[in-house]
Structure 1
Amino acid sequence: MKITLVGSRHFGVTTLNMLREHAVEIVRIVVHDGEDRLAAAARAHGIEVVVQADPKLVTAAEIAPGTELIVTAHSHARVSKEALAVARLGGIGYHPSLLPRHRGIAAVEWTIKEGDPIAGGSIYHLADRMDAGAIAAQDWVFVKKGETARELWERALAPLGLRLLGEVIDYGKAFKTLPAKPQDEQFATKAPSLPGSKH
């Protein structure tokens, strides 16, 4: 399976390493900043790196020819409809909440702020609306009392995301399609950026 990975930072790098373990072909890395650590990791592995012309948008031209699946990892850019159409299976991303709950940039912070006893992660299909695409995989974890958003992310939600992404990619390789269960809009909540948020 040929994958274009769109992402940044530490989670982008750990996703790159996970993909390399799953015997897929990473044909291109797309970053919003050519100095990002994901770009450096890609170059170290001899993978082509493309820097987005617009940091908020990924265009069709920035997706590698022959890409079967676009994977996003810590990317805050919207992948355009045209870009998704280039890839046979479209695109998937990881969101650190039980979608449709906590859609938005600060999902982990809102999980803590609202005192949720459980948190979770969702692999979702990239769509026009932010975090609103069909769910490909989902799982949950308990939140420890007194845990910060960063602690919850590092202890449980980042590893969960890597595991779920790996499972969805293995499914795609085996069945040439991806699971897709529509989100139930009646349970959707927003998780907008909070002052001092790290994301």
Structure 2
Amino acid sequence: MRITLVGSRHFGVTTFDMLRQHGVEIVRVVVADADDRLAAAARAAGIEVAVQADPKLVVAKEIAADTDLIVTAHSHARIAKDALAAAKLGGIGYHPSLLPRHRGIAAIEWTIREGDPIAGGTVYHLANRMDAGAIAAQEWCFVRKGETARELWERALAPLGQKLLAEVIDYAKTHNALPAKPQDEQFATSAPALPA
């Protein structure tokens, strides 16, 4: 399976490492910032790096030829329709909430702010609307009393993201397809950025 990885920062690097140990071929890494640690990890491994022309959008020419699947890991860019069409199976991303709850950039912060007793993570199909694609895998975890968003991410949600992405990629390798369950729009909430 040939994967184009779009991402950044620590979660991008841990996803990069997980994919390399998972028997797939990372054919290209796409980043918004050429100096990002994910770009450095890819270059060190001899994998091609493409820097997005627009940090908010990934277009088809930035996806490697003959890509089977696009995986996003800590990317805040939208993957354009033509880019998704360039990959045989489209694309998946990880969102640190139980979608359709807390769609948006500040999902974990809203989980804490709303006092949710449970949180979770979702691997979902990338779509034209933010965090609205079909669910490929989902799992929940408890939120500890007094836990901060960063603590919840580091303790539970980041490791859960790696586990769920690995499960979906294993499924895709075996079945040459992705699991898909539509999100129930009646339960959708948004999680816009909070003021600093």
TM-score class normalised by the smaller sequence? over 0.9
- Looking at structure 2, the residues matched to 78 and 145 of structure 1 have their Cα atoms a distance apart, in angstroms, of 34
**Matched residue, 1:30:** 30
**1:89-121 Cα deviation digits (max 9, x unpaired):** 000000000000000000000000000000000
**1:110-166 Cα deviation digits (max 9, x unpaired):** 000000000000000000000000000000000000000000000000000000000
Deviation at 1:195, TM superposition (A): 1.5
Match status 1:183 vs 2:175: no
Deviation at 1:87, TM superposition (A): 0.3
- Looking at structure 1, the residues matched to 111 and 46 of structure 2 have their Cα atoms a distance apart, in angstroms, of 38
- Looking at structure 2, the residues matched to 170 and 21 of structure 1 have their Cα atoms a distance apart, in angstroms, of 12
What SS does the aligned partner of 1:92 have? strand
* TM-score normalised over the length of structure 2: 1.00
Give the root-mean-square deviation of aligned CA atoms. Answer: 0.3
**Matched residue, 1:116:** 116
**Matched residue, 1:130:** 130
Match status 1:18 vs 2:18: yes
- Looking at structure 1, the residues matched to 43 and 195 of structure 2 have their Cα atoms a distance apart, in angstroms, of 34
- Regions of 4+ moved over 3 Å: none
Gaps of 5+ in 2: none
- Paired residues in the alignment total 196
**Matched residue, 2:155:** 155
* Alignment map for 1:33-72 (pairs within 5 Å): 33-72=33-72
Percent of aligned pairs sharing the same letter: 80
**Matched residue, 1:102:** 102
* TM-score normalised over the length of structure 1: 0.98
